[in-house]
Amino acid sequence: MGQRIIACAADEPSIRIVAALDQGQTELWIAGPDAVDVILDFSSDAGAQIAVRAAVAKRAALLVGTTALSSETLAALRRASESVAVLVAPNTSLGVAVARHLVGQAAQLLGSEFDIEIVERHHRHKVDAPSGTAKALAEASAAAGRTISPDRIHAQRLGDIVGEHMVTFAGPGEVLEIRHSATSRDLFARGALRLGTWLAAQAPGWHTVDAWVVDRSAQRTESST
């Protein structure tokens, strides 16, 4: 992801990469004088904790795309949000963000007559199962009043699949499916750049992808009137 973010940023005139760091370099960079607007973290739980310290030290917004974060790291992120803008995004795709909205609406409108299951597929090297995105889709359903039990969330790890998620609503005589397929990792890299640019302009606090989508929609509406 780091390599793809750097490559995609080269196509964005308004974005400048100040530093690209691995875990061993970050501590030295924190002490340096570089000014930065936003830090994008796609590393590990330990790496995310270092990114928190960097964001607070640099007074920079922090976008964390790392999944399977520990409770300690999440608590550190919450504390950091008191002084900088923080957003934890298990998926930086606009399409997935919209899919979460649709899942919530479908769960609410279809009701308990419909069974719900989630199937997600990723490449064989992905560690966490179910994925952060699958959990986010399940949370959208739960927020709408329909809890999906863990045995109804299925994770497959096959080949080099970038990412696929399908939520199925099956009721009397009909089936509704909400599906998202990622065909390139650049999707997530470009999404992270767009989301990071937005986050850099936000006030300190805990921000969400949903807020970004709503803000984006409002801006598109204003520009079309």
Residues assigned a catalytic role: 122, 126
- With 0-12 / 13-18 / 19 or more C-beta atoms within 10 angstroms meaning exposed / middle / buried, residue 129 is middle
Q: Among candidates 40, 147, 144, 137, which has minimal Cα distance to 96?
A: 137
Give kind and range of the element (H or E) at residue 215.
helix 209-223
How far is 10 from 167, CA to CA, in rounded Å?
35
How far is 19 from 215, CA to CA, in rounded Å?
28
Nearest-5° Cα angle at 196, 205 to 193: 165
Give the CA radius of gyration of the chain: 18
How far is 119 from 174, CA to CA, in rounded Å?
18
| Type of residue found at 47 | G
How far is 151 from 110, CA to CA, in rounded Å?
21
